Homo-oligomer: A and B are copies of this chain.
Amino acid sequence: MTAVACCSPLQGAPLSAEDAQTLARTVKALADPTRLRLVSLVAAHGGEACVCDLTEPVGLSQPTVSHHLKVLVDAGLMTRDKRGVWAYYALVPGALADLARVLSTP
């Protein structure tokens, strides 16, 4: 639901239990090979793709793909835009970069 926890250095001060849980929820959304492929496919598809574009490349059923996309949307990593019959999924612009910055603060 919420975007990436954009204020936790991870290195530096120890994470509180709450911050750890929040950050883990985002990381968990990416901790699945299918969801990583979906992110990669959407990015390579011009930043936007509908479910019908993704079902065949990942080789899973349509409900399963739909479920994974929902997980990514709930984690704040993707957006869903329903236009007509199709639902277009797109990456949230800074989300992955924010997460990356939280993981490795130099």
Contact = CB atoms under 8 A, between A and B. Distances in A.
A39 B27 contact: no
Given A103-B96, A103-B99, A103-B100, A33 B21 contact: yes
Task: Give the copy number.
Answer: 2
6 contacts: A11-B43, A11-B44, A17-B37, A21-B33, A23-B36, A103-B103
Contacts of A91: 11
A1 interface: no
Contacts of A40: 10-11, 13-15, 20
A28 interface: yes
A36 B43 contact: no
A57 B14 contact: yes
A64 to B, nearest CB: 15
Given A23-B36, A33-B17, A12 B103 contact: no
Contacts of A33: 17, 20-21, 23-24
